[in-house]
A = this chain, B = another copy of it.
Amino acid sequence: MATGRNHRPATRSRGIPEATVARLPLYLRALTALSERSVPTVSSEELASAAGVNSAKLRKDFSYLGSYGTRGVGYDVEYLVYQISRELGLTQDWPVVIVGIGNLGAALANYGGFASRGFRVAALIDADPSMTGKQVAGIPVQHVDDLESIVHTNGVSIGVITTPGGAAQQVCERLVGAGVTSILNFAPTVLQVPEGVDVRKVDLSIELQILAFHEQRKAAEDLSRRDEEGPRGVAVPEGGRGEQGGDGDIPAVMPA
């Protein structure tokens, strides 16, 4: 679990399982696409297919939010978009700061998917004085010396760390000290945070290592299948589509 609060069951938040919370953004994205195509209603089967999950799981997930569907008909797309957005807290404005404006920090600053979901890049922060004042994605880079005042001035509660690993813990402590209570960590470091601070880690290298494990397994299986079935024992794709994205317990990974 990524939450640091232990005074309540860590896996439930207002009765909604953590696994369900992690899927709500997937549903929201699929619903947004339907909304843009002016589709008025959608069944659990259709929406589940678009989101890449099982329809029973989707209905169970929605049941935690309330009874927003109509039997025999399906779900009203606009209404569901609103309800999920509200549940996720996306109907309010979330100013975020990005600390560490290297390649990755710049990529995130340029990412267009923030604004539409209530996130606003309030400031970019870097330790390199020669970066100060430069514009990235139209936003001026500020020096890390001013971190605390930037957080206070903008009412920031979410911080994104894209520094090298060695600087991450110190940056984290300054962010937390200034009042940030949620951190998205791209640095290859396990951050130590006080109770009440949530950390999520994204780590590309870990994702690749998990892929390598399965890739290796496939090679081993193909070899053993050849042994079992004789030469030319090649697996035939059957057109199935596996679920994607969040494997139950996937730590994401990241840059050094």
Q: Taking beta carbons and an 8 Å cutoff, which residues of A are in contact with B?
A: 1-6, 10-11, 13-14, 18-19, 21-26, 28-30, 50-52, 87-90, 92, 94, 96, 102-104, 106-108, 110-114, 117-119, 157-158, 181-185, 188, 190-218, 220, 235-256
> Contact: A249 with B248, CB < 8 Å?
yes
A-B contact pairs, 28 of them (CB 8 A): A1-B248, A2-B242, A2-B250, A3-B214, A5-B218, A5-B242, A14-B220, A18-B248, A19-B248, A22-B250, A22-B251, A26-B206, A88-B216, A89-B215, A90-B209, A106-B107, A111-B204, A114-B208, A117-B209, A194-B239, A195-B236, A198-B242, A201-B246, A202-B202, A202-B253, A246-B251, A247-B249, A249-B250
Among A112, A117, A238, A247, which residue has the most Cβ atoms of chain B within 10 A?
A: A247
A88 to chain B, nearest CB (A): 5
> Contact: A255 with B113, CB < 8 Å?
yes
Pick from B6, B203, B237: contact of A194, CB under 8 Å: B237
> Contact: B245 with A251, CB < 8 Å?
yes
Residues of chain B within 8 A of A211, CB atoms compared: 158, 182-184, 198, 200
Complex CA distance for A254 and B220, rounded to whole angstroms: 32
Complex CA distance for A190 and B107, rounded to whole angstroms: 21
Known: A158-B212, A208-B184. A218 touches B196 (CB 8 A): yes
Residues of chain B within 8 A of A114, CB atoms compared: 205, 208
Residues of chain B within 8 A of A19, CB atoms compared: 247-249
Residues of chain B within 8 A of A214, CB atoms compared: 3, 13, 182, 198
Residues of chain B within 8 A of A252, CB atoms compared: 202, 207, 245-246, 250, 252
Q: Which 4 A-B pairs have the closest CB atoms?
A: A245-B251, A246-B251, A89-B216, A4-B242
> Contact: A23 with B249, CB < 8 Å?
yes
Question: Please, which residue of chain B has its CB at the minimum distance from the CB of A218?
Answer: B181
> Contact: B208 with A96, CB < 8 Å?
yes
Known: A4-B241, A94-B215. A111 touches B209 (CB 8 A): no
